Amino acid sequence: MIMKQKAYEKILLNGLVILVILFFMIPIYWLITTSFKFGREAFVIPPKWVFFEFTLDNYIEAIEVAKVGRFVANSLIISTGATTLSLLLGIPAGYAFARSKSRLLNSSSFFFLLLLMVPPVAMLIPFYLIMRNLSLLGTYWAVILLDTAFDASFVVWMMRSYFVDVPREMEEAALVDGATHFDAFFKVALPLSIPGIIASALYCFIFSWNDFLFALMLTSPKTKTIPLGILASFSAVEIGWGRMAAMSMFAIIPAVIIALFLNRYFVQGLTFGATKG
């Protein structure tokens, strides 16, 4: 009787999981099918979910007319730059907070958590004026630096939690063997924190890749990112739903590929970072 009850519970649980997955996959499926439809079929009632007239015109138009490759390249440059800079600043800072014996310095680490709670729009106007005065407005650096302000704060908080859990004895043993503090950091602490580094890097990349507000205000026509390219599908004459869906696929695919390859580290890193420190 107990075995049958457990079997029913398992079936019910699996059914609920499948329903939840299907619910969240409906918008993705709609986006994929719309990217292969002619404009007139995008909003036919009742909607055509399976059997519809297939076309690649939307992808051809996105590549040849909308120049989606340029937007993707700009997003890659900005996301990679912000991620790299955030890691270069955040990892050593997180290590310094984790190894510091000063209560004041340890308490100040909460400042980075507080910075993550600040609405991005609150920093946009002053940063816009700063970039204008530095003649960086419209360049890649304008968006990279502002994204880094948020991304690096997350990296500091995440890596502090990781480095706190790295046994000090291992670093002290390396120091006894003649290693310097830099050697202990690069050869002991850093390799043991690879999952946290990968999780932080993936978060930074996705945050910068999906950024719309900063890119809207700080880029120029030559440095526009893929979210702004999707926005360009709207015009005063019509809304190119098919082309917009096709361009959205170009925005989704790179992030999905990276997430699939690094998913194990991402989940491990976020779980570990949330329970330590």
pTM of the model: 0.84
Closest CA to 95 of 19, 5, 158, 13: 158
Weakly modelled stretches of the chain, pLDDT under 50: 273-277
d(CA 270, CA 219): 31
Question: In a 3-state reduction of DSSP, which class is residue 76?
Answer: helix
Q: Which residues does 55 contact at the CB level (< 8 Å), separation at least 6? A: 36, 37, 38, 242
Cis peptide before 46 (omega within 30 of 0): yes
- Residue 274 has what pLDDT? 44
Rg of the chain over Cα atoms, rounded to whole angstroms, equals 24
- Residue 266 has what pLDDT? 61
Type of residue numbered 73: A
Bridge partner residues of 239 (DSSP): 234
- Residue 92 has what pLDDT? 93
- Residue 143 has what pLDDT? 95
Q: Do 97 and 145 form a contact (C-beta atoms < 8 A)?
A: no
Type of residue numbered 154: F
